[in-house]
Chain A
Amino acid sequence: MADGTVDFAAASRAALQDPQLRGNFRRAMDGLMGKRAAQFPDAAEWRGVRELAAAVRLRALAKLPELLERLEENCSRNGITVHWAATTAEANAIALDILRKVDAKLVVKGKSMVTEEMHLNAVLEDHGIEVLESDLGEYIVQLDGTMPSHIIMPAIHLNTKQIAHLFKRKIKDAESREDAAYLTDLARRVLRAKFLAADVGMSGVNAAVAETGTLCLIENEGNGRMCTTVPPVHIAFMGLEKVVEKLEDVPPVISLLPRSATGQPITTYVNMISGPRKSGEKDGPREVHLVILDNGRSSIYADPELRDTLRCIRCGACMNHCPVYTKVGGHAYEAPYPGPIGKILVPQIEGLETRGALPHACTMCNACVEICPVKIPIVEIMGRLRVEAVRPGGAVKDGGAKASRAEAMVWSGWAAMNASPTAYRIATLAMSRLGNAAPSSLPLLKDWTRVDNEAVRSKPRFATRTLHDLARAKGIPDA
């Protein structure tokens, strides 16, 4: 992924030319926005619970180093083995090492965005280990050989018809039926057998409770519970920001997350995992491992403004409400985290050299900021990353990678013109007299007026007299 500059513009162009894809996203996001809104009919309740959840996350981040130590201590006391990974390569090596020790041949996985960040499936397959995604959406994208297009609904880019075709091609004895119940049942039959045969189950973590050493995992399909209880070994993966201080910090998070994400009051399953099977217990894994991944998060943490990125509880509501995401879909971002949170998180993790375009893929409309359940100032961070992209040094990896002397000169000229009333008057005079003669083929005007050789917007027309002129002519006082 980080092997070269990722071309968001090219990928989004391709997405825009796919009417099926655009229709799927438009319908899905409209539905999700409506469902979320229905969960918060009372503005005062929304403000209250949002303040509470934001405070939980802020407090956790304020004490992050201490809470991570307590988490490790209490997890260890509960019999959970804690592993620390500075990079995704280290996290993959840790996973492989655990798998080797138990001679694992088959892994079943619940949804985990951190393992997407690690490209864990590809690594395991390279080592001859079969890995099966068990979340229905993840299972679908795995069968399709693609990436999740949304962090909560990985296969949201596909409709029932497309999924029916995929299943028919990939699953033995599948009938060609565009029926969600049939397709779900089909996937369930495939997955059931694998749960029972798997050597290791893997999962993500929605919140890790420092004071109790408990891993909280929410899900709707029961696959998370199967992955974390049936196979003899469970490995959970989390980004280091997912820790919360106390057990009572969990309810605001697991209440706001599904309400914001899918418009559900609560998920069907809420798993609180507090260690391997104890003597005398009849089920549960023999071993539980927790892999805590840094992958650039501690650098993000070090900057007081950028740190707010780590508040995220991965509900995906920012995607559902993003007018850009709704148009281009999740794959255009070519990143584990698409949409607004991806536009601020991915450049900080992977660097501005390859990801410097992402913070500009935003109109700064603030729709995401308005609904973020933990009040992340996404657009302010977006603006900060735009500064970092053209300023060498700085706090973000590859700062200044997008600096261009031509662009700097343009802005310097713009500032000189707008900072001097005389220069401004001359410039606006010139524009109002000559601006309309500018040919539509000029670089910026061409982009404005034509897309794919089709007229999308008429040329802006300069007025012949500016407001300054009119005000002067009408005798509007100057001071």
Chain B
Amino acid sequence: MDHQPATPKPTRVYYFGTCLVDLFFPDAGMAGIELLQAQGLTVVFPQGQSCCGQPAYNSGYRAEALKVARAQLDLFPGDDPIVVPSGSCAGMMKKHWPDLFHGEPDEAKAVQVASRVWELTQFLVQALEVRLTDKGEPVRVTWHASCHAQREMGVVDEPKALLRQLANVELVELAREKECCGFGGTFAVRHPEISAAMVGDKVADIAGTGAARVVSGDCGCLLNITGALEAGRQPVQGQHIAQFLKERTHG
């Protein structure tokens, strides 16, 4: 585990919404803010934020990634945690920013900011130790774990633990939970055929659970998976975990 539970519990957090949430899933982003507020926290959303820089970083354009990452650095003064509703963007900030800024004049600041980054479900479980009360109808869901949440942020059990707190939610795990859905950022358009084959396997796995919804914590995966579910006319709906949790707990 990267983090020890913060004692005393934090009262103020920054929220880094990510560019994909901003453009495609703003309601999920807002739900994340409201989940944190429901725990009595002050949530700060710096309006100057844009993107963590990952698209350019993973495409071989490190100078461009650095320029974008640097533009975020001054938005989070102080020591308050920075909560990100995405394992992939959180992983970019926490794990890759220190490498990206290595040898740069603002390296120390980047390392300090990186060390304060949490993925949303990780923060809810580890830092806030939330207890959720389910107010929804019985539903069967499955969980899609993003590769970067699992393998860069070490977030494996937290989201499932949150889903299991909900009395009327039956969680059916995927047969191949750990297998990539085939998004991979620019991979999906560089190798559309392979990506489509990968998401095809993922959708079949999801359909096999009999779940009404597939819940995930990463919007790249969700764009890919919900896109494939729609194209294949599957009745399963995709949803970001923040939005799902908010729906279930706000009645």
* A residues neighboring B (CB under 8 Å): 9, 12-13, 16, 22, 26, 323-324, 327-328, 360-367, 369-370, 383, 386-391, 408, 411-412, 414-415, 417-421, 424, 428, 431-432, 435, 444, 447-449, 451-452, 455-463, 465-472, 474, 476-479
Q: Are A448 and B26 in contact (CB under 8 A)?
A: no
CB<8 Å pairs between A and B, sample of 18: A12-B194, A16-B193, A363-B182, A411-B64, A414-B68, A415-B56, A417-B50, A418-B19, A421-B49, A428-B22, A435-B23, A458-B231, A460-B24, A462-B24, A466-B23, A467-B29, A471-B17, A471-B29
| Dominant secondary structure at the A interface | helix
Known: A362-B187, A461-B24. A474 touches B30 (CB 8 A): yes
Query: How many pairs, one residue from A and one from B, have CB atoms within 8 Å of each other in the complex?
Result: 205
Q: Shortest CB–CB separation between residue A330 and chain B, in angstroms?
A: 14
For B55, give the chain A residue with the smallest CB separation. Answer: A414
Question: B228 at the A/B interface (Cβ < 8 Å)?
Answer: yes
Q: Which residues of A contact B198 (CB under 8 A)?
A: 323-324, 327, 363
Closest to A408 in B: B61
- A463 and B25 in contact, given A456-B199, A477-B44 (Cβ under 8 angstroms): yes
Are A421 and B48 touching (Cβ within 8 A)? yes
Residues of B within 8 A of A471 (CB): 17, 29-30, 33, 45, 47
User: Which residues 195-236 in B have Cβ within 8 Å of A in the complex?
Assistant: 195-201, 223-224, 226-228, 230-231
Task: Please tell me if the beta carbons of B230 and A387 are within 8 angstroms of each other in the complex.
Answer: no
Known: A360-B187, A415-B64. A367 touches B45 (CB 8 A): no
A421 to chain B, nearest CB (A): 4
Pairwise interchain contact A467-B26, C-beta atoms closer than 8 A:
yes
Q: At the interface, yes or no: B165 with Cβ under 8 Å from chain A?
A: no
Q: Beyond A365-B147, A412-B64, is A478–B57 a contact (Cβ under 8 Å)?
A: no
* A425 to chain B: closest residue by CB: B47
Identify the closest chain A residue to B47 (Cβ).
A478
* A467/B30 in contact, CB under 8 A: yes
A470 touches B43 (CB 8 A): no
Residues of B within 8 A of A361 (CB): 191, 194
Question: Is B42 on the interface with A (CB-CB < 8 A)?
Answer: yes
- B70, A419: Cβ atoms under 8 Å? yes
CB within 8 Å for A477 and B42 given contacts A12-B191, A470-B30: yes
New contact pairs (13) apart from A367-B178, A424-B50, A451-B193, CB-CB < 8 Å: A323-B198, A363-B187, A364-B185, A370-B151, A383-B60, A411-B61, A414-B64, A415-B68, A419-B67, A448-B192, A466-B22, A477-B44, A478-B47
Give the chain A neighbours of B43 by CB distance below 8 A. 476-477
Q: Which residue of A lies closest to B70 (CB)?
A: A419
Assembled-state Cα–Cα distance A432/B23 (Å): 7
Residues of B in contact with A (beta carbons under 8 Å apart):
15, 17, 19, 21-27, 29-30, 33, 42-51, 53, 55-65, 67-68, 70-71, 147-148, 151-152, 178-180, 182-201, 223-224, 226-228, 230-231
Q: Which of B45, B62, B190 contacts A360 (CB 8 A)?
A: B190
| 4 A-B pairs with least C-beta separation | A363-B184, A457-B227, A386-B60, A365-B147
- Least Cβ distance of A375 to chain B in Å? 13
**A122 → chain B closest CB, angstroms:** 30
Given contacts A432-B23, A460-B223, A466-B22, contact A362 B231 (CB under 8 A): no
Docked-complex contact B59 and A411, CB < 8 angstroms: yes
Q: Judge whether A390 and B227 touch: CB under 8 Å.
A: no
User: B33 to chain A: which residues have CB within 8 Å?
Assistant: 471, 474, 476
**Bound state CA distance, A370 and B147, in angstroms?**
11
Compute how far the CA of A323 lies from the CA of B29 in the bound complex, rounded to whole angstroms. 29
Cβ contact within 8 Å between A365 and B193: no
Which residue of the partner chain B has the closest CB to A443? B189
Cβ-closest chain B residue relative to A458: B230
Residue on B nearest A357 in the bound complex, by CB: B190
* Docked-complex contact B196 and A451, CB < 8 angstroms: yes
CA A324 to CA B227, docked complex, whole Å: 20
How many Å lie between the Cα of A324 and that of B191 in the bound state? 10
Contact of B17 among A421, A435, A456, A467 (CB under 8 A): A467
Question: Provided the pairs A16-B193, A421-B50 are in contact, do residues A460 and B227 lie with their beta carbons within 8 angstroms?
Answer: yes
Residues of A within 8 A of B71 (CB): 418-421
With a CB–CB cut-off of 8 A, which chain A residues contact B224?
457
Q: In the assembled complex, which residues on chain A have CB atoms less than 8 Å from the CB atom of B51? A: 418
B211 to chain A minimum Cβ distance, whole angstroms, is 19
The residues of B that contact A415 with a CB separation of less than 8 Å are: 56, 61, 63-65, 67-68
